[in-house]
Amino acid sequence: MIAAGEPAPDFTLPDQDGENVSLADFKGRKVLLVFYPMDFSPVCSDQLSIYQEVKPEIAERGVEMLGISVDHPYAHKAFQEKLGVDTPLLADFEPKGEVARAYGSYLDGLGFANRTLVLIDEAGTVAWAYESPSPGEFPGANLIFDALAS
């Protein structure tokens, strides 16, 4: 997994609307990357729903949140609509998991990203990162707020 102090690898991925989003688009702002296994799983649904509830508090701290999984943009759009979330969901679809691999989140034997949070500072450096012990456990919002407080 990527470590604090490392430069955040740049990327460009399509979002749920098929629009390209690059990490470079957020230069000068803090970004929280939320890697998750796949759309529509019960644990992913719970994770993104809880993050949506606290998203205004995260935004108050000057942080933009982006979800990333190996699903296709069409799946992201349906997932976003089903959950009622407005967090951009980026498709690390092809080449599959390339961005997750760059951040050390991809699980080769399973074919998707683990639940990994990566906070990137305004200069494009990893300020904090957390990886769940397993894809079945999502990091609580308290971990995000603890990272933002430190």
Amino acid at 13: L
Establish whether 126 is a catalytic residue.
no
Residues 6+ apart with CB under 8 A from 142: none
Contact assessment for residue 76 and residue 15, using Cβ atoms and an 8 Å cutoff = yes
35 and 70 Cβ atoms separated by less than 8 Å: no
| Cross-strand partners of 134 | none
The DSSP H or E segment spanning 46 is helix 42-60
Q: Which of 44, 68, 75, 126 is catalytic?
A: 44
Q: Which of 33, 82, 37, 30 shows the shortest CA–CA distance to 59?
A: 30
Residue with tokens 């955040």: 8
Residues sharing a CB contact under 8 Å with residue 146, sequence separation 6 or more, in sequence order: none
Catalytic residue numbers read 44
